Amino acid sequence: MKKIFLVAALAGAALMTSCCKDNSKVTLGSLSGEMDSLSYALGVNIGTGLGYELKDIPFDYKAMDEGLKKSALGKSDLSREEALETIKDYFMNKRPERGRAISKQRAQADSIRQATGDTTKVEYPVADEAMFESEEERREVSYAFGSDIGFNIRQNGIPVQVVWLIEGLQNVRDNNTKMNDAQANQFLQNYFMVQRPAENEAASKAWLEKIEKKSGVKKTESGLLYKVVKAGDEATKATDKRDTVQVHYTGRTREGKVFDSSIFKNRSKEQQEMLKQYRPDDYDKDEPIEFPLNRVIPGWAEGVQLVGKGGKIMLWIPAELAYGARGAGSDIGPNDALEFEIELIDVKPYVEPAPADSTATTTTPEPVKK
């Protein structure tokens, strides 16, 4: 199975959106009770991935585990941006350069031995200490790496007990795991492909049933729930899914977590910081979004057509009208129902392109006279 969190950390995962409300399911847990198999399997999965992909790096695993634990529990000493900056600098700049220097040094040493007739076979360490220039840097990078893994775990909404996850990591390092990598992968695969989709489906159904009973909420034949907050101009509506609309919107999970928004105050702290970096002069400006309705999820397209220009509407979209069993990104799981708050700013009706003029003739140029 793909090492989801490891890969995310290595790549300097794209900033994920979240609202200020903390809906994390991560807990500390206790080794004194029954083993939490999901957390342990995740630890084995990540630990095995580290051994395969980063075996050349002599991490400070104590610092890494500390960073993972604190970040997963929402208590990291580093911001997400600080952790990512440290990771990207090391893996994109320092690691390649130092790896080449170590290889060159070893090759030169081998050449000298061969030239002097020394046939001694030298066993070089897989993880050379020279990959870090100091113990301080080693701890800093290790802590940041663990912090990013912990952040990704926290944001994915998985019910993880941190102590069992770290136990799995440590057991991989000690080569005495309670389940091997194949067993851990099988357990995680069952969780993500069978158990979690079923849990989401049941929870989404119960959530929508509760929403449907609220005052002013209506239901379409497709199963879309909506509440018109402001009708807008009834004469100016989107009537064709090829129409283009301009909107302000905020999308939330059923737990209230914002996964996307065109409104600055609704964005996550991480996205706000990113906007400050790339748009320092107007980072807090709300930017309406414009797109054709045939390029959004079905429930969204249907719902926007229920209000006129200037109108506002709330949508509660069943998974089958959203992202279905596949989900989307880290915030929207398989079979997740969603909530959208939408303000329709403008509508641009689709215009059929003019047909080609079949009566037009091609003019043949006269031959050049010599």
Strand partners, 280: none
Binned at pLDDT 50, 70 and 90, residue 364 comes out as low
Task: Name the more confident of 328 and 277.
Answer: 328
Strand partners, 218: 226
pLDDT at 357 (0 to 100): 64
pLDDT at 16 over 60: no
| Mean pLDDT (whole number) for 280-285 | 74
| Mean pLDDT (whole number) for 277-281 | 75
pLDDT at 88 (0 to 100): 96
pLDDT at 31 over 60: yes
| Mean pLDDT (whole number) for 175-179 | 96
Which has the minimum average pLDDT: 35-44, 114-123, 133-142, 192-201? 114-123
> Per the structure block, which two tokens stand in for 288?
């309406």
Question: pLDDT tens across 220-260, in order?
Answer: 999 999 999 999 998 999 999 999 999 999 999 999 988 88
| Mean pLDDT (whole number) for 128-147 | 97
Q: What is the mean pLDDT of the chain?
A: 88
pLDDT at 98 (0 to 100): 96
For the chain, give the percent of residues with pLDDT over 90: 69
> Per the structure block, which two tokens stand in for 326?
């596949």
Helix (H, G, I), strand (E, B) or coil at 275: helix
Yes or no: say if 155 and 331 are a contact pair by the CB < 8 Å rule. yes
| Mean pLDDT (whole number) for 318-342 | 93
Question: Which residues have CB under 8 Å from 259's CB, separation 6+?
Answer: 16, 17, 18, 251, 252, 253, 329, 331, 332
Q: What stretch of H or E contains 261?
A: strand 258-261
